Amino acid sequence: MTQAIYINGQYFSREDAKISVYDHGLLYGDGVFEGMRIYSGKVFALEDHMTRLYESARAIMLDIPIEIDALTTAVNETVAKNGLTEGYIRLVVTRGGNQLGLNPFSCEDPQVIIIADTISLYPEKFYTEGLELITASTIRNHPAALSPRVKSLNYLNNIMAKIEAIRAGCIEAVMLNTKGEVAECTGDNIFIVRGGRLITPPIDAGILEGITRNTVIDLARENGIEVAEEAMTRHDIFVADECFLTGSAAEVIPAVKLDGRVIGDGKPGPMTQKLNAAFRAFVAR
């Protein structure tokens, strides 16, 4: 096998890795997942990702049929079996199921899937030149409807905003919350720099508490940079000195324009570059 995909304790080739068409994950987006980076053969922030996975599952009353330590071991074994030193892990837990209908309590066979592969979310030029963003008309899910802190398989909210970005000639969009404040992008958290301060929306803005987001906040504070988690509007991005996005797949990527307005001088800024270098040095360790 050129690629070994883990499903419920067994490994399958990519062609033979299958689950039921009746699975609630397929039929209703009913399940949870984590996306994790592999650096130098090791999964970055694995413990944090596993904690978030089990918290997401608990929030939607999904019982993962394997203890967290055993699943952590399975993730590491999958990386080793695929011989990856640099890459990406997609860890998925579906509700399972063998019949139609919404009732999740009729599902007794959750599916645990680990995919180890390579990934390139954005072309390299955007890391050196910066992204252009638009503001999506699709707002972020209301936290009382589906909490953005649950990393669920239901990503249609994000996908609709992503469609808007691509149709506008961009590859990423800013999503606002129900109050009209900046929440996050379709797949990444967002930061701005203004007056030497690093600012990012707070958790209660309706965002996913990103692992890379938290790492960058910690690195910034270690480097003596003031960090604030504050409510943010589009205006704050328009007048910012710098802007960048963070995510497990995206890592740290600059943004230089929003809705036709140039951010700062239209180039990746010094703090963005400093934090990107600090992040890369951190993961290399």
- Domains in the chain (CATH in brackets) are 5-117 (3.30.470.10), 124-284 (3.20.10.10)
Q: Give the model's confidence band at 2: pLDDT under 50 very low, under 70 low, under 90 confident, else very high.
A: confident
pLDDT beyond 70 at 1: no
Beta-strand runs (E) in the chain: 5-7, 10-12, 31-39, 42-43, 87-94, 111-117, 131-135, 172-176, 182-185, 189-194, 197-200, 227-229, 242-247, 251-258, 261-262
CA angle 271, 273, 277 (to 5 degrees): 115
pLDDT score of 285: 84
Convert the pLDDT of each residue in 179-210 to its tens digit: 999 999 999 999 999 999 999 999 999 999 99
Give mean pLDDT, residues 31-44.
96
> Active-site positions?
151
Q: What percent of the chain has pLDDT over 70?
A: 100
Give mean pLDDT, residues 27-50.
97
Instruction: List the one residue out of 209, 162, 201, 188 whose CA is nearest residue 53.
Output: 209
Q: Give the model's confidence band at 119: pLDDT under 50 very low, under 70 low, under 90 confident, else very high.
A: confident
Chain CA centroid to CA 82, Å:
22
Q: How many CA atoms lie within 13 A of 238 on its CB side?
A: 7
pLDDT score of 181: 98
pLDDT score of 183: 98
Convert the pLDDT of each residue in 134-193 to its tens digit: 999 999 999 999 999 999 999 999 999 999 999 999 999 999 999 999 999 999 999 999
Give mean pLDDT, residues 62-73.
98
Q: Give the model's confidence band at 8: pLDDT under 50 very low, under 70 low, under 90 confident, else very high.
A: very high
pLDDT score of 48: 97
Convert the pLDDT of each residue in 83-118 to its tens digit: 999 999 999 999 999 999 999 999 999 999 999 999
pLDDT score of 39: 95
What average pLDDT is seen over the chain?
96
Please tell me whether residue 37 adopts helix, strand or coil conformation.
Answer: strand
pLDDT score of 215: 97
**Poorest-confidence range of 185-189, 220-224, 266-270, 281-285?**
281-285
Q: Give the model's confidence band at 29: pLDDT under 50 very low, under 70 low, under 90 confident, else very high.
A: very high
Instruction: List the one residue out of 120, 9, 14 whose CA is nearest residue 71.
Output: 9
Convert the pLDDT of each residue in 237-261 to its tens digit: 999 999 999 999 999 999 999 999 9
CB 117 within 8 A of CB 88: yes
Q: Give the model's confidence band at 125: pLDDT under 50 very low, under 70 low, under 90 confident, else very high.
A: very high
pTM: 0.94
Q: Give the model's confidence band at 3: pLDDT under 50 very low, under 70 low, under 90 confident, else very high.
A: very high
